[in-house]
Chain A
Amino acid sequence: MSTSYHLQVVSLDGLEFEGEVQKILLRTIDGDVEILARHTNYCTAIGMGTAKVTMDDGQERKAACIGGMLSVMNGEVRVLPTTWEWSEDIDVDRAKAAKAKAEEALKNQQLDKETRIRAEAKLYRALVRIGSSGQESKYN
Chain B
Amino acid sequence: MAGSMKAVKLRIKSVQSTMQITKAMQLVAASKLRKAKERADNSKPYLETMLATLTDIANGNNDFRSIYTKSGNDRWLYVVIAGDRGLAGGYNSNLFKFVEAEIKDKNNVTVLPIGKKSVEFFKHRNVPILTEEYAEVAKVNISDCFQVAKLICGSYGGDGFGHVFLCYTNFVSMLSQVPTSTSLLPLSDLKSENLEKDGKAKDLILYEPDSETVFNEIVPEYLAGILYSSINISYASELAARRTAMEAATDNAEEMIDNLSLYYNRARQASITQEITEIVAGAES
B-contacting residues of A (Cβ < 8 Å)? 8, 10-15, 28-30, 33, 40-45, 67-69, 71, 73-74, 78, 80, 82
Contact = CB atoms under 8 A, between A and B. Distances in A.
Contact of B57 (A30, A68, A71, A82): A71
A28 B56 contact: no
Contact of A82 (B53, B207, B221): B221
Nearest to A29: B217
A71 B49 CA distance: 11
Given A78-B49, A78-B53, A80-B49, A43 B206 contact: yes
Interface residues of B, number: 29
Contacts of B204: 41
B208 A12 contact: no
A74 B203 contact: yes
Contact of A80 (B42, B53, B203, B214): B53
Contacts of A71: 53, 56-57
A42 B205 contact: yes
B157 interface: no
A33 B207 CA distance: 13
A69 B46 CA distance: 12
Given A44-B207, A44-B214, A12 B225 contact: yes
A10 B56 contact: no
Contacts of A80: 46, 49-50, 53, 225
B22 interface: no
The 7 tightest CB contacts between A and B, nearest first, are A45-B217, A14-B42, A41-B205, A15-B45, A10-B49, A73-B56, A44-B208
Given A43-B57, A69-B221, A73-B53, A10 B45 contact: yes
B222 interface: yes
Contact of B203 (A13, A41, A44, A78): A41
Interface string B133-169: 0000000001000000000000000000000000000
24 contacts: A10-B50, A12-B43, A12-B46, A12-B225, A12-B229, A14-B41, A14-B43, A14-B45, A15-B45, A29-B213, A29-B214, A41-B205, A41-B206, A43-B207, A45-B218, A67-B221, A68-B218, A68-B225, A71-B53, A74-B203, A80-B46, A80-B49, A80-B53, A80-B225
Contacts of A14: 41-43, 45-46
Contacts of B171: none
B89 interface: no
A1 to B, nearest CB: 21
A120 to B, nearest CB: 15
Contacts of B46: 10-12, 14, 80
